[in-house]
Amino acid sequence: MIPVRGFEGARVAVLGLGRSGLSAARALRAGGAVPLCWDDNEAARVAAEAEGFRIADFSRAGAFDGVAALIVSPGIPHLYPAPNRVIAAAQEAGVPVDNDIGLFFRSLATQAWDDLDVAPRVVAVTGSNGKSTTSALIHHVLREAGREAQLAGNIGRGVLDIDPPGDGGVVVLELSSYQTDLARALTPDVAVFTNFSPDHLDRHGGLGGYFAAKRRLFAEGGPDRAVIGVDEDEGRYLAGQLSEGSGDDRVIRVSVARKLSGPGWSVFARKGFLSEYRQGRQVGSIDLRGIKGLPGAHNHQNACAAYAAARTLGLAPRVIEQGFRSFAGLPHRSQRVAEKSGVTFVNDSKATNVDSALKALLAFENIRWICGGLEKEGGLAGLKPGLAHVRRAYVIGREAAQFALGLEGVESEVCTTMARAVGRAVEDAEPGDVVLLAPAAASFDQYDNFERRGEDFIAEVRARL
């Protein structure tokens, strides 16, 4: 645990008692603060009370009198589409609002670090797609290289639940826009921006607000090194804002769309080959084509970002390559779950938006595509470049018929349920086909989360093999 510093003896409100909220309350208490907790869910309040936490209803008048800060869980809106009533009350009372990420950065470094030979470092990864895989890949490469590393944030453990890092230890954080948007302290040593595409627009008041939330990771504290995907306008803008010139190697540019040139530091992948260039010279390369845990251009982009981050931490190219080759991938992200009679079954339930689903479609040929769910803003037109890879679509979700209408030029079948979709795909599949779950939609019309949707797909596949 990372005890929260700076609130000794103070009353600190905690709103939301899920994983991050409860860990924040525990860390506050460990640092000498007095947490006052609330969650609209009664079961969550009971669980917190069982741990000895005081429950306080912040909707009552004067609830924030004498409160030093309000710590908010990431799923609770603080501005758009409208502030949560408790957050609005705290802001009206002049009480600072923060989250567990902000508490982590203000509390991680201690005087004990003075006795370490090598100070611990924090690598923070954000972006629209690939955050989880990139974070897990960095963590895996470090561990395979014998380095102390912990994985936390939006993946793995809560940031305040990790152990205090030791000599030369590295903390790898995956951070969503919900987390970066509110944190009052953001000071990673290495910050990574994977890519950018529309998502969570209602929560951030539009595309500009969404990008602004991502940008805060680089603007608030200023990392020593920034790894920036430059295949979109936003990434190119961010790299330009952070760089002092074309040769500034504090910014490492990453691409899977083109060869990068110039005197700076760049990592790019073309036709399955990763290349690292510094000062106009190639200094490292990896053949990514045979690495099963990293299929497709989108995973090659993740590999480039992870490679660049690992290089900033002093790892050699061959050491990084060894880590890549032993990386098994993450559940629900281009996860190969079975193969039979020449048919491969891939679970990419995490493809919850059009951009991530397009990347999955481009990674495979001869696809029996299971898609559909709660469609997001912007429609399905962005899928067009990948539809030539689809032999047939099997559409799930409560609005499956409407979703299917948006798949122009693709033979589709309205299945509604996962069981029927998998069954029909298995019946139709031929050797060389890939049965791919890449929904291009949220899961909440039928499932609690994308993990449950992926697990249902795996269960239906295994029941038929």
- Start-end of H helices in 85-162: 85-92, 100-107, 131-144
Task: Give 1: exposed, middle or buried? Use CB within 10 Å, 0-12, 13-18, 19+.
Answer: middle
Residue at 279: amino acid letter:
Q
Q: What is the DSSP string of 282-302?
A: EEEEEE-TT-TTS-HHHHHHH
352 marked as part of a ligand binding site:
no
194 marked as part of a ligand binding site:
no
| Number of Cβ within a 10 Å radius of residue 343 | 20
- Taking the chain, what is the end-to-end CA distance rounded to the nearest angstrom? 44
Nearest one of 207, 209, 170 to 192, comparing CA atoms: 170
Strands (DSSP E) contained in 310-461 are 335-340, 343-347, 367-371, 390-396, 412-416, 434-437
- Start-end of H helices in 51-97: 85-92
The phi, psi pair for 286, rounded to 5°, reads -145, 135
Contacting residues for 69 by C-beta, under 8 A, at least 6 apart: 7, 10, 12, 13, 95, 96, 97, 98
Token pair recorded at residue 33? 């603060």
Between CA 389 and CA 281 the distance in angstroms is: 36
Q: What strands lie across the sheet with 190-193, from one edge to the other?
A: 149-153, 170-174, 121-126, 190-193, 225-229, 251-255, 265-270, 273-278, 281-287
133 marked as part of a ligand binding site:
yes
284 marked as part of a ligand binding site:
no
Between CA 28 and CA 464 the distance in angstroms is: 49
Token pair recorded at residue 370? 């299971």
Q: Are 37 and 56 in contact (CB under 8 A)?
A: yes
Token pair recorded at residue 25? 């309350």
Assign residue 13 a region (left: φ > 0; alpha: ψ between -120 and 50; beta: otherwise).
Answer: beta
Nearest-5° Cα angle at 374, 365 to 438: 15
131 marked as part of a ligand binding site:
yes
Residues in the chain: 465
Which residues make up each annotated binding site for ATP? 127-133
Which residues make up each annotated binding site? 127-133
